[in-house]
Every structure is written in C-alpha cells, then in structure tokens.
C-alpha cells in the first residue's frame, strides 16, 4: 500500500506534515509519497535519522493557498500538490491521498480528477468520531451548504455503505439531525428527507436531536453541510475554550483529554472522508499538527484496507 500525502497543504506545512509522517511510519508497513516541492521536503526530512526506504518524494512545484477560489486555482495550478497527489491516486500510483489543504480545492480537484460515483448527486464530507457507544459517521460537514432532500438520502446511503465496510456494522442505524424527535419536527428540508429515509431500504431510526449526537444513538447521522459545519466547528471552539481553561491552571489532563476526544473536535479526529468520490481522499484540518496528520494517515490506511470507496460502486 502506498499513501500520497500533500506535504505543502495546511497552516503548518511542510514541517508538521512531515513530522507526522515520520512519526507514524514505523507503526505500519505502507509506503508514503510526499507530494510537494522537493527542496522543502528534503530539508524537513533531513531533520530525521531515516533509512528512507519507505518514503519517497513526488515533485509538485505549485501550492494552492487556503483563500484561493477552488475552480480557478485548480485550472491554473495543474502542478500543485493537490492536483498532482490526486492524479497519483487516479493512476494507481497511490491508494489514498491525504491533504490538510483547502477543503474546497481538494473537493473540486477530486471531482475533476477522480470523478464521482454515478448514483451520487453530490460528494459529501464525513467525519468519524468516538461516542460512548462506538464510532459515528457524521456527514455532510461542509461540502454542500444547500441541500435537497434526495442529497440527504444519498448521504445516508453512502454512510450506510461506509460503516458496513469500515467497521463491519451489519445494519448501521441511520439518524437524521433535527430539532426534535418527532416526525413533524425539522425545517422543510429535514421533514422531506425524513419521508425519503423512512421509505428507503436503510435502517432509519428517525430524528436525532443535538443532545443525542455525541451519545452514539445512531451509527450514521446525516445533515446538510451548513449545519454539519457549524456543529463540528463548535466542537472545535469548545475544545479550544477548555484548553485555555487548562492552561489557566485547571489541570486535569485525563478529563480534558476525554473532553476533547468526545467533543467532535475535528482537529483531534485527524481528517474528514470525502464520500462519493472514486478514490480514497482524506481532508485533514487546515491547522493539522503532526498528531492530526498521524491520525489522518491511519484513517487513510483503514479506508484503503476495507475498500470503502470501492464499496460505493461506480
């Protein structure tokens, strides 16, 4: 297995990206291809005492910045680490691509390079977080701010396939994020999606309210990309507030660690899966440090091994 990692993407690239790769590699057997500017990558690699047999560099001179307009950036920068990394997946030279670069640019480039599954109208971004009752796949967390009911149905169908293949959950429980448990609750979008989900072949367990989300009542929770994004970023912000409290002397590393682990903190989760794309693409947080990159790489290994993207069909 070979995983391509965008060495240039993210606020702390290339330093933290390469640190994460170097730290994670000994625990696995796969190879890593670092995609980016060779000089910058070599300079970082020279900090470590490596035999280098399982790390290679693939040249990509350009970098797409976080604020660039995705479509334009991808057209103009064909030799950027994002486009080149995705092409490695397309050509079979890598099994997965991990990047902490611009979510919009990666999603757009993945659509153009790898293409989407035909039965999917819109790829979605999903995170897997730990709940007291096990892993939960939560999507969409930002790819589609405006959704139609059928998009939410498709997110549920993709989530169902992912949770069956990655975690061998036979009949994943599908929940719909809403402002009340009852069928009549929700905004127009959610009320219409409820009807589609109820009629589907899925193991739909109904609406999930905000307070149930962290508890793991469902294995897959679907929402539109606007609400999903607000939810995961709120988790991130709360984790930061707690970290600040901790620095102020209220130290209890064990509790604080649990708090951060449970709080849907995107930064601690390593990365989001791009579902509905013909290929394994992991989008790590822009502020990823080495630890986050290690988790993103582990997630990449897991989806490659379980053939999650292939399970979605063509």
Residues lying near a copy of itself in the complex (CB under 8 A) are found at: 132, 142, 145-146, 177-180, 185-188, 190, 209-215, 223-227, 229-238, 240-242, 244-246, 250, 252, 254-256, 258-259, 262-263
Residue 55 has phi, psi (to 5 degrees) of -120, 125
**Closer residue to a copy of itself in complex, CB, 39/182:** 182
According to DSSP, the residues that pair with 175 across neighbouring strands are: 206, 221
* E-state strands within the chain: 2-6, 31-36, 55-59, 96-99, 124-131, 134-139, 173-178, 203-209, 220-222, 272-275, 280-283
Minimum Å distance from CB 233 to a copy of itself? Answer: 3
Closest CB to a copy of itself among residues 54, 261:
261
- Considering all CA atoms of the chain, what is the largest pairwise distance in Å, rounded to the nearest integer? 61
Contact 4, 297 (CB under 8 A): no
Measured CA to CA, the distance from residue 255 to residue 252 in angstroms comes to 6
Q: How far is the CB of 250 from a copy of itself (least distance, A)?
A: 5
d(CA 24, CA 20) in angstroms, rounded, equals 6
β-pairing verdict for 124-131 and 272-275: antiparallel
* Backbone phi, psi, residue 222, to 5°: -105, 145
Residue 56 beta carbon to a copy of itself: minimum distance, rounded to whole angstroms: 35
Least separation in angstroms between residue 238's CB and a copy of itself is: 5
Three-state secondary-structure class, residue 282: strand
* Residues 181/206, Cβ–Cβ less than 8 Å: yes
Residue 104 or 276 with smaller CB distance to a copy of itself:
104
CB nearer to a copy of itself: pick between 142 and 279: 142
Toward a copy of itself, which CB reaches closer, 35 or 105?
105
Task: Find the shortest distance in angstroms from Cβ 143 to a copy of itself.
Answer: 10
Nearer to a copy of itself, 36 or 104 (CB): 104
Q: Shortest approach of a copy of itself to residue 239 CB, angstroms?
A: 9
Name 279's Cβ contacts closer than 8 Å, sequence gap at least 6. Answer: 86, 89, 90, 96, 97, 110, 114, 309
CB of 185 to a copy of itself, least distance (A): 8
Strands 124-131 and 203-209, bridge-based pairing: unpaired
Given a contact cutoff of 8 angstroms between Cβ atoms, the answer to whether 107 and 125 are in contact is yes
Contact 29, 2 (CB under 8 A): no
Of 91 and 254, the one with the shorter C-beta distance to a copy of itself is 254
**Residue with Cβ nearer a copy of itself (109 or 213):** 213
Q: C-beta of 107: minimal distance to a copy of itself in Å?
A: 13
Angle at 209 between CA 130 and CA 146, to 5 degrees: 90
């Amino acid at each position: 297995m070979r995983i391509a990692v965008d060495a240039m993407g993210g606020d702390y690239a290339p330093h933290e990206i390469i640190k994460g790769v170097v730290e994670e590699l000994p625990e696995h057997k796969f190879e890593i291809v670092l995609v980016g500017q060779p000089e910058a990558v070599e300079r970082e690699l020279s900090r470590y005492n490596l035999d280098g047999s399982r790390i290679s560099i693939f040249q990509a001179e350009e970098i797409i910045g976080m604020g660039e307009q995705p479509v334009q950036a991808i057209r103009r920068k064909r030799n950027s680490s994002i486009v080149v990394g995705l092409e490695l997946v397309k050509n079979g030279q890598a099994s997965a691509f991990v990047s902490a670069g611009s979510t919009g640019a990666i999603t757009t480039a993945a659509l153009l390079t790898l293409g989407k599954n035909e039965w999917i109208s819109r790829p979605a971004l999903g995170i897997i977080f730990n709940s007291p009752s096990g892993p939960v796949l939560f999507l969409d967390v930002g790819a589609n701010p405006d959704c139609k009911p059928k998009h939410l149905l498709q997110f549920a169908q993709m989530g169902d396939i992912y949770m069956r293949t990655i975690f061998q959950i036979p009949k994943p429980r599908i929940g719909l994020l809403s402002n009340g448990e009852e069928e009549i609750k929700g905004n127009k979008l959610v009320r219409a999606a409820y009807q589609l989900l109820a009629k589907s072949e899925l193991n739909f367990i109904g609406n999930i309210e905000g307070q149930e989300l962290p508890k793991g009542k469902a294995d897959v929770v679907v929402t539109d990309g606007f609400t999903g994004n607000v939810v995961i970023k709120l988790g991130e912000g709360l984790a930061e507030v707690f970290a600040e409290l901790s620095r102020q002397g209220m130290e209890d590393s064990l509790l604080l660690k649990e708090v951060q682990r449970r709080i849907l903190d995107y930064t601690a989760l390593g990365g989001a899966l791009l579902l509905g794309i013909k290929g394994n693409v992991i989008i790590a947080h822009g502020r990823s440090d080495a630890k986050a990159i290690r988790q993103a790489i582990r997630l990449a290994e897991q989806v490659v091994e379980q053939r999650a993207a292939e399970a979605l069909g063509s």
